[in-house]
Amino acid sequence: MSPALLFGRVAVAEAITWALLLTGMFLKYVTETTELGVSVFGMLHGVVFVAYGVVTLVVAVDQRWRPGRTLAALACAVPPFATVPFDRWVERRHPLADAWRLRTTDPTGPLERVVAWLVRSPTQGLAAGLVAVAALTGLALLVGPPTS
């Protein structure tokens, strides 16, 4: 999967989980019918939010994004649905490559070495990404949910 396709799909998934969470919040606070939507969709959104952050950092390192663009991409996960316009902006102004740069280019520095390993070994990279998302989600849960 190319950096553009991965980033775009995760950006859309993050926006979809925002919509689901907002729907759950509407059911809980406006109609007062159920809290289940917030429980289920809140957790789902949290996991996808973390995954978006991990994918953003991997893409940023591989594509040599400047810190400002990386921070903007990460910040777009906070307001609802902002990841999709950011992805569209990247597609128009700074298109992502069709292939991972670090699959064929020698890494320079420790971050690039890690990302090069992730993209050169897709199965292990996927497993490492899932472990990172699970660990970061677990850490967030230890800190406490946003409502605590």
50 near 133, Cβ under 8 Å? yes
17: closest CA among 87, 82, 81? 81
Of the pLDDT bands very low, low, confident and very high (cuts 50, 70, 90), residue 146 is low
For the chain, the first-to-last Cα distance in angstroms comes to 38
- Residue-wise pLDDT tens digits, 25-65: 999 999 999 999 899 999 999 999 999 999 999 999 999 99
Question: Residue 100: is its pLDDT beyond 60?
Answer: yes
Global confidence as pTM = 0.93
Of the pLDDT bands very low, low, confident and very high (cuts 50, 70, 90), residue 76 is very high
Residues 131/121/50/22 CA torsion (nearest 10 deg): -110
pLDDT at res. 144: 82
- Residue-wise pLDDT tens digits, 113-122: 999 999 999 9
- What region does 116 belong to: left with phi over 0, alpha with psi -120 to 50, or beta? alpha
Q: What is the mean pLDDT of residues 78-98?
A: 96
